[in-house]
Chains A and B, each alone.
Chain A
Amino acid sequence: MKGKNTFTFFRNLGFLTLKKKSPISMILAILSGFIVASMIPLMSKFIKGKGSILIPFLPLALFIYFLTFLPQVSQGNPIDFFYSWVPSFGVDLSFRLDGLSLLFTLLITGIGTLVFFYTYSYLKGHVYLDRFYGYLSMFMASMLGLVLSDNIMTLFIFWELTSISSFFLIGFNNEDPKSRKSAMLALSITGLGGLFLLAAVILLGYVGGTYSIQELLSQSELLKASANYNWIIFLLFIAAFTKSAQFPFHFWLPGAMKAPTPVSTYLHSATMVKAGIYLLARFTPVLGGTAEWNTTLIIVGAITMVYAAIHSLFRLDMKGILAYSTISALGILVFLIGLGTEEALLAAGVFILVHALYKATLFLITGIVDHETGSRDVTVLSGLRKVMMPVAVAAFLAALSNAGAPPFFGFVGKDLIYEATLHFGDWAYVLTGAAIVTNICLLFAGLLAGYKPFAGPLPKQFEKVHLPHPTMWVPPLILAGLGLVFGIFPSLIEKSLIQPVFTSLVNNDTIIHLKLWHGFNLVLGLSALTLATGVLLYWKLKPSNNLLRKTFKFEILSPKTLTEQFGNLFSNFAKLWTGFFQNGYLRNYVITILGFLTLLLAFRLYQGVNIYIDTATLTDVTIYEAIVVIIMAASIIFTVFSKSRLVAVASLGVIGYAICLIFLFYSAPDLAMTQFSIDTLTVILFVLVIYNLPKYKSFSKKRVRIRDGILSIFFGTLIALLTLEVLSEPLNRETSKYYAENAYILAKGKNVVNVILVDFRGFDTIVEITVLVIAAIGVFSLLKLRLKSIEKE
C-alpha cells in the first residue's frame, strides 16, 4: 500500500513539472555541470566566500529534475533524447533514460547533493574551494553523460572525462608528492582502460554497423557470432576492470584515497568506480550470456572480492579499510554480472544501491572523524559517540546495513546474493563459499570503520572534540536512514526503481519481488552464519601495526609494485633514449640524421643501381674547364685541411669563383654575376670578423675526425651516385617550356631568368627581399648594439 502511495506521489510530481521533453532540457541538464565548472573561475572570490552555499543547489536541482522522470520510467517506458552532433561519423548526442540509467543518475545527483553540501563545511575557507567545486561539477556532468549516453562514442568521451576529473580531484592537495603520485597512477590505469574502451567501441561499431546501444541490442546475435567477439569483450573487460578497480588493476583505488574525503565518497565508492560495472551491466543484454563472458567475469570478480576483502582485515586507516572493502564490493558486482542469471542480475541491481548507501555513509563519517579529531587510525579512535552522537548513529546504521543485519537494506541485498550463488548449478558451493568469506570480511571491515571508533571509553585527547556543522553530519544520517527505510519497506523502490533496472539488465518482462523476510531456509541460515562469524572475528582479531607489517612482505609481488617497476623501467629507458639522441650536441644530431639517411640510401642503392650514361650525349671537356675543376677540387681540400683560418676562407672564395666560372661556361650569366658578388661579400665579411676570433684550432681527437671523415665520404659518394641515377632519367621540361614561351608574350621580357624572378614569381622575390632585410637588421644590430655590462662578464 505504502509503495503505491509513494508511486502516485512521484507520478503527480511528474505531471506537475514534466510538461514536455525536449532534447535541449536533457542536454542542458547534463552539460550544466560543465557550464558551472567553466563559470566558477570567473567568480572565484564569490564562490570561496558567501557564494559557496549556492553550488550544492545545482546537484539538488538535477536530482529533482531526474526524479520527475521516475513515474514514466517505472512504467517501463524509457525516454529517448536525440540531437544529431556529427552525423558523418555516426556520433550523436543521443541520451536514453531507462531503469539502469535512472538508478545511476539518481545516485549521482542524490549522493552528489549530499557530498556538495558536505564539502561546504568540510573545505570551508579552503584556498582552492572554488577549484574543488569546479572539478566536482565537471565530474558530475561527465558521469551523468556517461550513464545516459546511448551513443557509445559519446559514452567513451564522457568516460575519459570522468578519468580526467578524477585525476584533478585525487591530486587536489597538489603540494603533497604522494597525492600527485597517486593521481598519476590513477590516471595512467584508468587512461589505459579508456584506450581499450575506444578500441572496443570502434570494433563494436565496425561489427554492428552502429554506435547506438539500442541498435546494437538488436544485433546481439550477430555480434556474438562474429569472429571479433572475443576481441570486443576482451577490450571491454579491460576498460571495465581498470575503471572499477578489479584485480589486477585494483591498486590505484587505495592510492586515490589521498583525495579529500568528499571525493573518496563520491567518486571512489559511490559513482565513478561503478562506471565499469555500469558498462558491463549495460552490455550484458548485448554481449552477455556466452561462456567466455560469464566465466571471465566470475573468475575476475571472485578473485577481486576475496582478495580485497582479506586485505581489508589488516588495514588500520579507516580510509584504507573502506578502500579495500569498496574494491571487494565492486568484485561482488562483477561476480554477480558474471553469474548472469536473473537472480544474480537482480542481486547486482539491488547491491549497487545497497553499497552506495552504506559505503558513502561510512566515507562521510570517516571524513567527519578525520576533520574533528585529526586521526583516522582505528587503533587510536574510540568512544566518539559521547561527543558526536548523530554521527555515531549514522555510523552504526551503515555498519549494520553493511553487515547485512535484518531489517536493513543490506540484508535484502545479501540474501539475493546467496540465492544467486546457491542456484548456480555445479559450482554453487564453491561460489557460495567465496561469497560467504567475502561477506564475513566485509562485515568485519564495516564494524572496524563504523563501530570501533565510536564504541568503548573516550580517551582524554578527544574530550574536546565537538559535533561539526549540520551540513556535515546530516548527509550521512540521511543515507544511513535510507538504508534502514528501504530495508523495512522494500516495496518503496521495488516497482519504481529496481524493477526498471532489472528490466534493462535482462531485457525481458519478468516481474520481481523484494522481500525482507523469506521464512526459515538455507539462505537465512547462511546469513546468520555470516553475521555470527563476522562478529566473532571482530572480537578475536585486533588489527595492529604488527599484523599490517607482516602483509608488507608480500608487497614485492603485488600488482602495484610490478606496475611501478614497469613504469620506472619505461621512464629510465626513455631517459637513456633521450639522453642518447637529444644530448645537446648539434653534430650528434647531424651524425644521427646523416647516418640514418646514408644507411637508407645505401640500402636503396644496394637493391639495384640504375645508372646508364650515354657517353655520346655528354658535353665535351675543354682545357679551361678541366683547369677550373682541378682548381676547385684543390680549394675544397685546402678549405678542409688548412691550419690557417685565412687560407680556409680564401680557398672558400676560390671555390665560389670557380663555380662562378662554371655557371658562365654553361649558359648562366645571371648566376655567374650573382655568385661573384655574393662570394666577394662573404669573404670580405669573414675577413672583417676573423681578427676578433680566437686561435683557429682543431678541437677533435684523431679518432673522431676519422669517423667523421668516413661518414662524409660515404655521404658524398651516395649523393654523387644519386646524381648519376637522376641524370640517366628523362627530364620533364613542361614548366621551363611554359616560361620560355610566355616570357616575351606575357611579360615583355627577353631574359627568361629575370622574367621568372621579377614577374612570374614576383611575390616570392618580394618575400626573399624581406628575408634579406631582416637578416640585414639582425647583422646591423648584432654589430652595433653595445653589450650590456652583465654580458661582458
Chain B
Amino acid sequence: MELLLVILIGLLYAAGIYMMLRRSMVKLILGLILLGNGANMLIFLLGRIVKGKPPIIDSAEKMFTEIYADPVPQALILTAIVISFGLQSFAIILVKRAYKITDTDDLDELNTTDEIYE
C-alpha cells in the first residue's frame, strides 16, 4: 500500500503544479487544493501507516498497551486541513470578486495594477 500511496502523492503533486501553472484563476485554486492534499498525504505516509490502530487509549487502560498509529502527523494534518480551508474559501471568494471587477479569469490580464479602470 505504501508504494501505491507514493504514486498517488507524486500524481497529486504533478497535477497540482500543472494546474497552478495555468492562466485561469479557478485552475490556480484547484491546483492549490491538489497540492495541499498531496502535502497532507505525504506527511501522513512519512509518519508510517498502521492499519486499524487509531491513537486512542483503550477506555480501561491509562496508557497504550499495543502498537498504535503515530498521533503527531495526524495532529499536524488536522491543523493543515483546517487552515487550508480558510485559505481556499478566501481565494474562491476573491476570484469571484476579482472577476466581477475586472471581467476576466485570465491571470495574464491581471498582472498590472494600472489600467484596470480603463
Contacts and interface: CB of A to CB of B under 8 A. Distances in A.
Interface of A: 584-587, 590-591, 594, 613, 618-621, 625-626, 629, 632-633, 636-637, 639-640, 645, 648-649, 652, 655-656, 659, 662-663, 665-671, 674-675, 678, 681-682, 685-686, 689, 692-694, 696-700, 708-709, 711-713, 715-717, 719-720, 723-724, 726-727, 731, 733, 735-736, 739-741, 743-745, 750-753, 756-757, 761, 764-765, 768, 771-772, 774-776, 778-779, 782-783, 787, 790-793
Given A666-B50, A712-B21, A645 B78 contact: no
A689 B59 contact: no
Contact of A670 (B62, B64, B78): B78
B11 to A, nearest CB: 5
A336 to B, nearest CB: 60
A719 B82 contact: no
Contacts of A694: 99, 103-105
A371 B3 CA distance: 86
A775 B62 CA distance: 39
Nearest to A742: B63
A601 to B, nearest CB: 12
Contacts of A779: 89-90, 93
Interface string B38-62: 1011101111111111111111001
Given A715-B17, A752-B55, A753-B78, A652 B86 contact: no
B77 to A, nearest CB: 6
A723 B15 contact: no
A324 to B, nearest CB: 47
Contacts of B26: 645, 693, 696
Interface in B79-118: 79, 81-83, 85-90, 92-97, 99-101, 103-108, 111-112, 117
Interface in B3-31: 3-15, 17-24, 26-28, 30
Contact of B44 (A648, A663, A774): A663
21 contacts: A587-B22, A590-B20, A625-B1, A639-B19, A639-B30, A659-B40, A659-B41, A667-B55, A668-B74, A682-B89, A693-B105, A699-B108, A716-B15, A720-B10, A726-B46, A745-B63, A756-B75, A775-B89, A776-B89, A778-B90, A783-B93
A701 to B, nearest CB: 10
Contacts of A771: 83, 86
B2 A743 contact: no
B23 A700 contact: yes
A142 to B, nearest CB: 42
A652 B51 contact: no
Contact of B93 (A632, A640, A689): A689
B17 A636 contact: no
4 tightest Cβ-Cβ pairs between the two chains A and B: A716-B14, A720-B10, A775-B86, A667-B69
B90 A761 contact: no
Contacts of A739: 71-72
A581 to B, nearest CB: 14
Contact of A736 (B1, B5, B46, B72): B72
Contacts of A590: 17, 20-21
Contact of B64 (A674, A692, A740): A740
A715 B108 CA distance: 24
Contacts of A761: 75
Given A692-B96, A693-B26, A736-B70, A667 B54 contact: yes
A279 B56 CA distance: 76
A655 to B, nearest CB: 6
A768 to B, nearest CB: 6
Contacts of B87: 775
B15 to A, nearest CB: 5
Contacts of A783: 93
A711 B51 contact: no
A782 B42 contact: no
A667 B9 contact: no
Contacts of A775: 86-87, 89-90
Contacts of B85: 678, 681-682, 772
A585 B107 CA distance: 8
A772 B75 contact: no
Contacts of A637: 15
Contacts of B79: 757, 764-765, 768
A751 B56 contact: yes
Contacts of A685: 88-89, 92-93
Contacts of A712: 13-15, 17-18, 21
B1 A709 contact: no
Nearest to A695: B105
Contacts of B15: 636-637, 639-640, 712, 716
B24 A708 contact: no
A752 B57 contact: yes
Contacts of B6: 720, 723-724, 727
Given A699-B24, A782-B97, A720 B92 contact: no
A182 to B, nearest CB: 33
Given A636-B12, A675-B81, A726-B46, A693 B95 contact: yes
B71 A740 contact: yes
B24 A697 contact: yes
Contacts of B92: 682, 685-686, 689
B29 to A, nearest CB: 8
Contacts of B107: 585-587
B67 to A, nearest CB: 10
A68 B53 CA distance: 90
A743 B57 contact: yes
A717 B19 CA distance: 16
Given A716-B17, A736-B70, A793-B117, 15 more contacts: A626-B4, A633-B8, A636-B15, A640-B18, A659-B41, A662-B5, A709-B18, A712-B13, A712-B17, A719-B38, A723-B10, A744-B57, A745-B62, A776-B86, A776-B89
A652 B34 contact: yes
A719 B42 contact: yes
A124 to B, nearest CB: 44
